[in-house]
Amino acid sequence: MAIIGTIRKRSGLLIILIGIAIAGFVLQDAFKSTNGLNNKKLGVINGTDITYNEFERKMETQVEQMKQQQRKENLSSQELFQVRQSVWNQLISDILMGKEYEELSIEVSPDEMNDMFYGKFLHQFINQNFTNPKTGQVDRQRVMQIINGFDQMKPEEQKQWKSIEEYIKTDRIRTKYNNLISKSFYMPKAFAKKAYEAQNDFVKLRLVAVDYATVSDSSVTLTDKDYETYYEEHKQEFDQEPSRDVDYVMFEVLPSKEDVDATTKQVNDIFADFQTTENIPEFVNTRSDKRYDSTFIKRGVLPYSIDSAMFNASVGTIFPPFMDNGSFKMAKLMDAQLRPDSMKARHILLSFQGAYGAAETVKRTKDEAKKIADSLRIIIQKDTTKFSAMAATSSDDPSAKENKGDLNWFADQTMVAPFNEAVVKGKVGDVVVVETPFGFHVINITGKKIPEKKVRVALVSRSLEPSNQTYKNIFAKANKFASENTTVEQFEATIKKEGLNKRTAEYIQPMADNIPGVENARELVRWSFNEETKKNDVSKQVFEFDNKFVVAVVKEVREKGIAPLAQLKQRLEFVVKRDKKAVLIQEKLKTALAATQDLNQLAAKFNTQVDTVPQLNYAAYNVGRKGYEPEVIGTTFTMKKAAVSKPIKGYTGVYVVCVDDIIKAPPAKDFTMIKMQSQGSFQQRVGNDAYKAIQDKAKIEDNRIFFY
């Protein structure tokens, strides 16, 4: 009893302690999953930390800009992935190049900025966006007004203008930097002379080539020492970025027979009602996956199975259910008309109070607007030459002051319906008045294409989709596969036994978004790069991507740096075998050359022929029809006339060369053209090559895979 009493007295304390214990337990799990992430920087670029919040702010800015440019409410996952890559690359560029600009004291003064905005040397952005199309002159006053009125702008407008200023400034700094490098080019006369000779000295030669294919693969035995020798000699060629190879089985969720039967029954029931309903538009809107479309359609737009029949049927014809692109469809021909594909017209808009889009300054009533429109129609009917002047002074369409009311050519059904139909039904030259939600329009029809038959069709569409039960069945199948095949050996054996389709994704990058057949595959990519995921690990979880379930195994793990020999062995087999064949062929050719220097006899001995290259210069890429052989070209230009070379190891075989003639270039004193060509080539490479060199040297830690 004493113990119970003590507990009761301290119950409040116990509750607090229990609460702390529970909280500690929960937080322990939370810290396990998030503490590492919170302490991890999103990236480090040459010692500059990139925080998650900083990156997200830049992401949000770019996403909003992209939405505005594309006039979208939301971006697709693929577009978001592209923005994420773009923001990261821009961050790298800003930090690396910012350091370069700072060390070189490259900057843009306020006077320079003003000059690029409205001075003598305008930036191309200003030229492109502030040039009056009529005069061809840049509106400098407009630019100055924007700059001087910056404080009166809306926050969003200020943000946009700041972006423009930043772009122009950055572009100017980058141009200065590139010019600093490109203008530093200098070619001494001795170098220019060498370049001239490389282009204009020629040799005539004969050669004998013994192809590697003449030595069978079976006659060459490769040892670990052979691989190691080649690897050590070419080690720097195998620098790599981190990547993964993944094999995976995809269980796609497709409609089952039961799903097809159930949907077919629904479609047949809908069709029975479709044949008797009186209000077709309402029926389509309530029973179809897509709303009723009242537009008139040209040939070739409707589903193939009904397109031709629709244009030969009478109005009211109903087409029974058919399958089209994964959906059941049924159709009824509502109307058929001869309509022009495009029309031309001009108009004067008379808006009124309460009309859609009417300016606050518009005070006239609907009746007053109608009377003015009718009066203008009478005047214009008598003399259409007055239309432009009247449109410029009387129209409430803001564009009328520029275009005098001329709408030029427009496609059928692109204008508001009453306006569009008035032009369709009228004749060229007619002047008509029609009311739309915007007000009353005085329309002068000025052109129409030759009418063609178009149809209005009511389409009822019902998608054939897998049921929830089908999803459960396919998931159960994928889950069973994952739980029963936990090793790579079991994974491979079951695929073979059950005849499953194994897919492979090679060289997956850490920030890859897709793999073959699967979009938005970030979850799988992140798993493959997880520190706990090793080579030959099979995914314990089943990855779900839209209507696909995926089970995967990591087949190769490549880390950043020089690839180990074990990872390259299969890839190197061909070149290592080639080098070993080269040694065998070289020994045989050396023995043959000790007996004869005659290329014809040499060719006969090796069952090949003598090739003649009538003209070869040092700057050449190929050796006659033998293709790319730089070793042969380099050796040839070290030889004297009539000399026969030692066996030369090439890419496709081993060569013996005889120089028949050496044609020296005519003497030259002026190498200006050579210098200009070299300088032009150098300057073209500056922009990309300079940045690439800086980036290759930089220390960049990319941890985005832990966040996205």
Q: What is the pLDDT of residues 196-242, one digit of tens each?
A: 999 999 999 999 999 999 999 999 999 999 999 999 999 999 999 99
For residue 168, give the amino acid letter: I
Lowest mean pLDDT, pick from 4-8, 85-89, 624-628: 4-8
- For every residue of 456-504, DSSP letters joined together read EEEEEEEE----HHHHHHHHHHHHHHHHH--SHHHHHHHHHHHT--EEE
Task: Say how many domains are in the chain.
Answer: 6
Mean pLDDT for 15-20 is 32
Do both 417 and 510 map to the same domain? no
Same domain, 350 and 436: yes
| Residue 539 belongs to a domain | yes
In a domain, 67, yes or no: no
CA distance 606 to 647: 13
Q: Is the same domain home to 485 and 507?
A: yes
Residue 651 within a domain: yes
Distance from C-alpha of 529 to C-alpha of 508, rounded to nearest angstrom: 10
Residue 188 lies in a domain: no
Residues 508 and 440 grouped into a single domain? no
The full 3-state SS of 41-87, as one line of letters, equals CCEEECCEEECHHHHHHHHHHHHHHHHHHHCCCCCCHHHHHHHHHHH
Looking at the structure, tell me whether residues 288 and 381 fall in a common domain: no
CB–CB of 351/365 below 8 Å?
no
Q: What is the mean pLDDT of the chain?
A: 91
Strand, helix or coil at 538?
strand
Write the pLDDT tens digit of every residue in 486-539: 999 999 999 999 999 999 999 999 999 999 999 999 999 999 999 999 999 999
Look up residue 448 and give its two tokens: 């129409």
In a shared domain, residues 230 and 319: no
Helices (H) and strands (E) in the chain, counts: 24, 20
Which of these, 8, 546, 682, lies nearest to 253 by C-alpha position?
546
Q: Could you tell me the residue range of the domain that residue 537 belongs to?
A: 242-254+467-559
pLDDT confidence of residue 31: 35
Please state the φ and ψ torsions of residue 446, each to the nearest 5 degrees.
Answer: -115, -5
In eight-state DSSP terms, residue 670 is -
pLDDT of residue 38: 52
Query: The domain that contains 437 carries what CATH number?
Result: 3.10.50.40
* Digit-coded pLDDT (tens) for 644-702: 999 999 999 999 999 999 999 999 989 999 999 998 888 888 888 999 999 999 999 99
- Longest Cα separation, the chain: 119
Domain boundary among 540, 559, 578: 559
Please check whether residues 472 and 519 belong to one and the same domain. yes
Does the reported pTM lie above 0.85? no
Quick one: average pLDDT of 406-416?
Answer: 95
The mean pLDDT value for 581-608 works out to: 96
Q: Find the mean pLDDT for residues 170-178.
A: 94
Q: Is residue 163 part of a domain?
A: yes
Given 421, 449, 477, the domain boundary residue is 449
Q: How far apart are CA 52 and CA 580, in angstroms?
A: 53
Give pLDDT, residue 39: 56
Tell me whether residue 280 is in a domain: yes
Q: Strand, coil or helix: what is 356?
A: coil
Which pLDDT belongs to residue 225?
96
pLDDT reported for residue 156: 83
Q: What DSSP string describes 259-275?
A: HHHHHHHHHHHHHHHHT
DSSP state of 515: B
Q: What local confidence, expressed as pLDDT, does residue 37 receive?
A: 52
Is residue 309 in some structural domain? Answer: yes
Please say whether the beta carbons of 470 and 259 come within 8 A: yes
Give the pLDDT confidence score for residue 72 in this predicted structure.
85
247 lies in the same domain as 265 = no
Q: Select from 592, 576, 531 the least CA-distant residue to 242.
A: 531
Task: Convert the pLDDT of each residue in 333-346 to its tens digit.
Answer: 999 999 999 999 99
545 in the same domain as 504: yes
- Neighbouring C-alpha atoms within 13 Å toward the C-beta of 408: 3
Answer whether residue 194 is part of any domain.
no
**Residue 363 to residue 352: CA distance in whole angstroms:** 7
Express each pLDDT in 235-269 by its tens digit: 999 999 999 999 999 999 999 999 999 999 999 99
What is the predicted pLDDT for the residue at 70? 86
Could you write out the DSSP letters of every residue in 420-461? HHHHHHS-TT-EEEEEETTEEEEEEEEEEPPPEEEEEEEEEE
How much is the pLDDT for 71?
A: 83
Same domain, 572 and 644: yes
Co-location of 548 and 483 in the same domain: yes
Convert the pLDDT of each residue in 261-305 to its tens digit. Answer: 999 999 999 999 999 999 999 999 999 999 999 999 999 999 999
Same structural domain, 351 and 421: yes
